């Protein structure tokens, strides 16, 4: 897909996530299989099967020690079995954008343990090393979404959506 088309779809998914997060719902298993694009070209976020209502006061969506989600798209805190919040979905969107823009997932491993360890400890390769025509601003959005520490990611899906729109405003749809 052209970069502008991917970005447009991602913005709409981020807006849907923002609405869910606003209701205190964290998806926790966001991945390409859970994003359906309708014949008219609109994405729909599916399968909130492991979604959890967060305690808006505490910001916790999953109890510590539980491991739920799809390993390739898990945030470092999910991979480590720690408490997650809406920023786990932001991380998953970073993985999805990385994959959509470069054609490969940021982390590959032969075992589940090694894959989860990479999410927790290893920085992703620079997206432009895999796709040199990727605009620097767009790479920055992906890299920030993939920050290991939740507090270094976008504060919300809406903030990521705004940054993505700004980074891709010169690209065609």
Which residues belong to the active site?
A: 29
Which residue pairs from 132-140 have beta carbons closer than 8 angstroms and sit at least 24 positions apart in sequence? 133/3, 134/3, 134/101, 134/102, 135/3, 135/167, 135/168, 135/170, 135/171, 137/166, 137/167, 137/168, 138/3, 138/7, 138/101, 138/164, 138/167, 138/168, 140/167
């Amino acid at each position: 897909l052209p970069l502008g088309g991917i970005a447009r779809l991602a913005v709409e998914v981020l807006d849907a996530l923002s609405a869910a997060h606003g209701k205190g719902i964290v998806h926790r298993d966001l991945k390409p299989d859970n994003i359906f694009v309708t014949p008219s070209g609109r994405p729909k976020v599916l399968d909130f099967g492991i979604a959890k209502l967060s305690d808006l006061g505490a910001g916790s969506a999953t109890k510590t020690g539980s491991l739920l989600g799809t390993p390739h798209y898990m945030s470092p805190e999910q991979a480590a079995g720690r408490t997650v919040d809406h920023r786990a979905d932001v991380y998953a969107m970073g993985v999805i954008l990385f994959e959509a823009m470069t054609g490969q997932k940021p982390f590959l491993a032969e075992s589940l343990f090694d894959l989860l360890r990479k999410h927790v400890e290893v920085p992703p390769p620079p997206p432009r090393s895999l796709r040199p025509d990727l605009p620097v601003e767009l790479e920055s959005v992906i890299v920030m979404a993939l920050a290991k520490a939740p507090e270094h990611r976008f504060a919300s899906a809406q903030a990521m959506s705004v940054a993505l729109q700004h980074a891709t405003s010169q690209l065609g749809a």
